[in-house]
Amino acid sequence: MLPSHITYDVAMGRWEPNTRVRLVVAAVDLFAEQGYDATTVSEIAERAGGLTKTTFFRHFPDKREVLFAGQELHARLMADAVAAAPDSATPLEMVGAAVDAVAASFSDDRRAFSARLRTVLAANRELQERAVAKRSALAAAVTGALGQRGVGEPAASLAAGLGVRAFYDGFECWAEPASQRSLPDLAREALDELRAALVTLA
Amino acid sequence: MLPSHITYDVAMGRWEPNTRVRLVVAAVDLFAEQGYDATTVSEIAERAGGLTKTTFFRHFPDKREVLFAGQELHARLMADAVAAAPDSATPLEMVGAAVDAVAASFSDDRRAFSARLRTVLAANRELQERAVAKRSALAAAVTGALGQRGVGEPAASLAAGLGVRAFYDGFECWAEPASQRSLPDLAREALDELRAALVTLA
């Protein structure tokens, strides 16, 4: 059986969907084995099944972006969930739907891959900065969607930031090798804790 | 009269304080004139008064970091203000003190320089990512200081994020060439708006 991230990432490929996923997996494996800096695009392409650099560059602008291939999809999943929330939903309920939607795209058979990716990111400052930028991009997408639903500023971006944080807090727990719980579960719990803290601060 | 950022940045220099400030000003000027990518460390050093690359590298690891020279000082100002807040202060009041402290370090004669810096950052994705990382570092410093004051998680990081955001929201208004108000004023106003939004969301 294919790991679920293949089905999942297929939606993102514009050319030869499986190639894209193979490149992502090959990159994470190589970065984990020999380090990010030491790995070349040619090596990634070769490991992905004898592909060429040219093929790599049809999918990704550089070796860094291969680690953030999910950004566009994750942003869309979150924004779409906000757009689809019922009229009666409060801003935090809309954000809850966004967190559920993105978390549901990570099934448990991706846990080991995600743990490896997390280790790669943690080992490199440039990658950490790019990861922070991904968080900002997700927050911006949710903020925009909340704005479309009539939530004003700064409440929209505040709520969006809470949702993105809940997702990542949940992800950190989920990507622990010993973790048993699902990401939707953990992300929801994180959001509940953030909501409680909000009440305390307010 | 020296622009106040000279007095201000002097505190950060470990070698020849004025050299450090001159390098920052030269870098921002060159980046604004001819672009970040097109500017070399040698050109920055030369513009800063006939200095050498070697001197530059005694102060900064690369040409990017010259734009984030204030990070350590800003983090310290915010953390120290949290530490110095009265025992009776709520977490948001401690954060308010942190915002006041960092905002007060920007006097109005730095406005034009800050506007130029803002334009340089906005023109380059790598710099924007680094700017986001600076925000994270400031938030981490405030979170740590709140933790020392007994504020638990996730309330501490939530409150810290609010403070950093208020500072930057205020900064964006302040760095507008047409702006007349002081940064402490604008940052306080931004924090008040965020606090009101927090109450609405909660």
Q: What is the mean predicted confidence (pLDDT) over A169-192?
A: 94
State whether A194 and B128 contact (CB < 8 Å): no
Q: Which of B91, B129, B165 sits opposite A133 (nearest CB)?
A: B129
Q: pLDDT value at position B49?
A: 92
Q: pLDDT value at position B196?
A: 95
Give the dihedral sign, CA B170/B172/B175/B180: negative
Q: pLDDT value at position B177?
A: 82
- pLDDT band at residue A18 using 50, 70 and 90 as cut-offs: confident
Q: Which of A130, A132, A201 sits opposite B91 (nearest CB)?
A: A201
pLDDT at A190 over 70: yes
Contact partners, residue B138, CB within 8 Å, separation at least 6? B71, B74, B75, B78, B102, B164, B167
Q: Is the pTM of this model over 0.90?
A: no
Q: Cis peptide leading into A154, omega within 30 of 0?
A: yes
- pLDDT band at residue A5 using 50, 70 and 90 as cut-offs: very low
State whether A130 and B128 contact (CB < 8 Å): no
Q: pLDDT value at position A130?
A: 87
When the pLDDT of each residue in chain B is averaged and rounded to a whole number, the result is: 90
CA gap A155, A157 in Å, rounded: 6
A179 CA: distance to closest CA in chain B (Å): 21
CA gap B186, B167 in Å, rounded: 8
A1 CA: distance to closest CA in chain B (Å): 38
> pLDDT under 50 in chain B at which residues?
1-16
CA angle A117, A60, A68 (to 5 degrees): 30
Using a CB-CB cut-off of 8 Å, the residues of chain A touching B95 are none
Q: pLDDT value at position A85?
A: 97
pLDDT at A15 over 50: no
